[in-house]
Amino acid sequence: MAELHDLTALEQGELVRRREVSPLELTEHYLERAHRIDDDPSTTVGAFVTLTDELARARASQLETLERGAGSPLYGVPTAIKDLNLTAGIRTTFGSPVFADYVPDVSDGVTLALEAAGMISLGKTATPEFGSPCYTEPEGRPPAVTPWDRTRMAGGSSGGAAAAVAAGLVPVAQGSDGGGSIRIPASCCGLFGLKPTRGRISGHPMYGDPVGLATAGPIGRTVRDAAAMLDELAGRRAGDPSWAPPPVGSFLAACDRDPGHLRIARFTAPVIAEAPVDKACLDAVVDASRMLEGLGHEVEEVAVPLPPEAVPVFETCWAVLTALSVVPPEQEHLLRPLTRWLSERGRQVSGPDFGLAIGAMRRFAAGALTALAPYDAVLTPTLAAPPLPVGAIRNDDDPAADFEAQKRFTPWTSAWNVTGMPAASLPLSWTDEGLPIGVMLAARPAEEELLLSLCAQVEAAAPWRQRTPPGW
């Protein structure tokens, strides 16, 4: 007989709706797993920074008394909130010792949307300092690791969220992605992770990214679970500076549609760094191409749509965004060397130069979007290697080398943050040692419905749900 955590988030929601399981039962099940697995140094995946047991139980008990027959299909289902997202009354550290005791008095739009859906947060998932690196090794805490091999990284910056889902500590979780921070950990942890199109999810109330690189998004074990969470997260709020057009139907419903015959562009040359690419990652794209062709799609090799000149422009914007983190001067010594190095780079950029960089980046994005406009989707590797050993990239003695190593590990993901296109990592391949390898599919801006339709078709052709890590 299946355990509750064997079920998808949608299956759990259906059991709640039919009153065959209660929100409190689900909450207790996942809290027990979270404490048993993540609190034990011998089994931890470094998923949680803060577990909010009593708040979760109180929330679940409250939901028991409400009507379950309508509304979200994820009503009563546990989840978790990334430690970059404001949660009223709950410690939010942004992955930094500078904010170790910070408790916001408001929740952001992401948190409010999940609460409105009737989901139950078990706590805050680990993130690196200010969500900057592509690995999750927060100060004074266990690193977030992939449950497929606990000596290897879960990726970042949504590493805690991915580790929690992959280890069965929550069925689906929210992440955020400014340069690959959903798709990188999804690949490392054998999950489906979706970065939505720019403007799909509100940045209320902080609107802290004036460049438009970052967005929240879902990480799940299945395409349908992620689509259901996207339905809850999506939508504009009064005050949003821009927004994506609403979908024709629901994102979940799109998973049941035939995508039709698609024209798919493919490239495997790295975009943001001259990096060696592991053969297993290249083979994964070849295998995915054959599958897509077998499903009736046309796959065409294309040139890399972003020129090398776009890389320093992206780096300028990234450094300025890091420098925007409000840290009192007397506490800057608490920041990680990488954060201090990036912040210093950002402070050296003048206001006019920052404005010019944003304009240049938008022109590079327009060129890429124009080049890819004839295609319905784009296929690339997600990462240049399977999940690396913990500490393989981090270099506190040489932050510049750390930054370059991150670029070599993730030479494709940030391209779709620049263009604003929706993009997903799919867990389609595995190394001989049993490590997951993701491939990435992207679509035109605001075409998540088509992308999810395609991803669901691929999942049906090569299901991955039943593949679970050691200790599941």
Q: Convert the pLDDT of each residue in 318-355 to its tens digit.
A: 999 999 988 988 999 999 999 999 999 999 999 999 99
Catalytic residue among 96, 107, 132, 157: 157
User: What tens digit of pLDDT does each residue of 97-120 get?
Assistant: 999 999 999 999 999 999 999 999
- The CATH number of the domain holding residue 419 is 3.90.1300.10
| Confidence band of 2 (pLDDT split at 50, 70, 90) | confident
Query: Would 471 be classed as within a structural domain?
Result: no
User: How much is the pLDDT for 1?
Assistant: 55
The whole-number average pLDDT for the span 54-69 is 88
Query: Would 467 be classed as within a structural domain?
Result: no
Q: Has residue 291 got a pLDDT over 70? A: yes
The whole-number average pLDDT for the span 230-249 is 96
Query: Would 441 be classed as within a structural domain?
Result: yes
Q: Does the annotation count 96 as an active-site position?
A: no
Spatial separation of the C-alpha atoms in residues 255 and 450, rounded to whole Å: 9
What is the strand order of the sheet 120-125 is part of? 48-51, 120-125, 78-82
Instruction: Give the C-alpha distances (Å, rounded to integers) separating 374 from 175, 407, 420.
Output: 30, 28, 17
Catalytic residue among 107, 176, 181, 414: 181
What is the sign of the dihedral through the CA atoms of 9, 12, 18 and 23?
Answer: negative
Owning domain of residue 454: 10-461
Query: Would 472 be classed as within a structural domain?
Result: no
What is the chain's alpha carbon radius of gyration, rounded to the nearest angstrom? 20
The whole-number average pLDDT for the span 86-91 is 98
Query: Would 468 be classed as within a structural domain?
Result: no
The whole-number average pLDDT for the span 246-270 is 97
The whole-number average pLDDT for the span 180-209 is 98
Query: Would 387 be classed as within a structural domain?
Result: yes
| The model scores a pTM over 0.95 | yes
Produce one character per residue of 282-303: b if its CB has 16 or more CB atoms within 10 Å, e if not: eebbeebbebbeebebebeeee
Q: Does the annotation count 429 as an active-site position?
A: no
Catalytic residue among 82, 124, 195, 407: 82
The whole-number average pLDDT for the span 444-467 is 98
What is the sign of the dihedral through the CA atoms of 167, 171, 174 and 179?
Answer: positive
Total domains, the chain = 1
Q: Has residue 69 got a pLDDT over 60? A: no
The whole-number average pLDDT for the span 414-439 is 98
Amino acid at 294: G
What token pair was written down for 299?
Answer: 């796959």
CB 442 within 8 A of CB 207: no
Query: Would 241 be classed as within a structural domain?
Result: yes
Q: Does the annotation count 414 as an active-site position?
A: no
Q: What is the chain's mean pLDDT, rounded?
A: 97
